[in-house]
């Protein structure tokens, strides 16, 4: 059967070639949340064992998120405390929420960043997945914030890898 037409092998070869080829890039259309935005606000709330932190930790995190979100921003990026500033017309506000907990005796920050706009149109339901980093690992925290902003802000969408294959538990 050497040299004979074997459709099963040809199909298997084609399937293998497709599986090995890189996945095509999928263009993402920004959510309607970002239409006609005039400013980006940042507000933070960090929970600790002693309650909500309103001190240095929250200020440091908010300042870092604000500075990183401003990179390439087409609109002003400002602090937006909860209340009127976060609800201003034309503003999308990044709600940065963290929780500090001890993991194996070391403080860990679980962090989320979610955009909010006081509007009925186009809320963005899924953005950056939550991240957990050692509280004293500044580089890891900065990398986590960068990755979360790349998953949230349209102008930073190409700043870090976004698509990862979903693991197949049946494959070794």
For residue 62, count other CB atoms closer than 10 A to its CB.
Answer: 20
* Helices marked H in the chain: 7-20, 56-70, 138-150
Q: Using CA of residue 7, residue 12, residue 13, residue 17, what is the dihedral sign?
A: positive
The predicted model scores a pTM of 0.72
CA 166 to chain centre: 17
- Give just the sign of the alpha carbon dihedral 125, 127, 132, 138: negative
Query: Per-residue pLDDT for 25 more than 70?
Result: no
**Per-residue model confidence as pLDDT tens digits over 104-130:** 999 999 999 999 988 766 566 677 889
Q: Does the pLDDT value for residue 57 go beyond 80? A: yes
pLDDT band at 89 (very low <50, low <70, confident <90, very high): confident
When comparing pLDDT for 82 and 154, which is higher? 154
């Amino acid at each position: 059967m050497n040299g004979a037409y074997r459709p099963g092998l040809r199909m298997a070869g084609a399937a293998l070639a497709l599986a090995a080829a890189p996945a095509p890039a999928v263009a993402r259309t920004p959510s309607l949340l970002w239409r006609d935005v005039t400013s980006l606000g940042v507000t933070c709330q960090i929970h600790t064992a002693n309650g909500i932190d309103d001190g240095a930790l929250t200020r440091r995190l908010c300042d870092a998120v604000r500075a990183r979100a401003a990179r390439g921003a087409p609109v002003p990026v400002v602090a937006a405390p909860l209340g009127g500033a976060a609800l201003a017309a034309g503003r999308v506000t990044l709600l940065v929420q963290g929780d500090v907990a001890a993991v194996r005796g070391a403080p860990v920050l679980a962090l989320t960043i979610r955009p909010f706009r006081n509007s009925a149109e186009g809320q963005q339901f899924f953005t950056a997945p939550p991240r957990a980093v050692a509280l004293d690992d500044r580089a890891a925290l900065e990398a986590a914030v960068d990755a979360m902003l790349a998953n949230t802000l349209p102008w930073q969408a190409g700043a870090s890898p976004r698509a990862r294959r979903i693991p197949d538990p049946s494959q070794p």
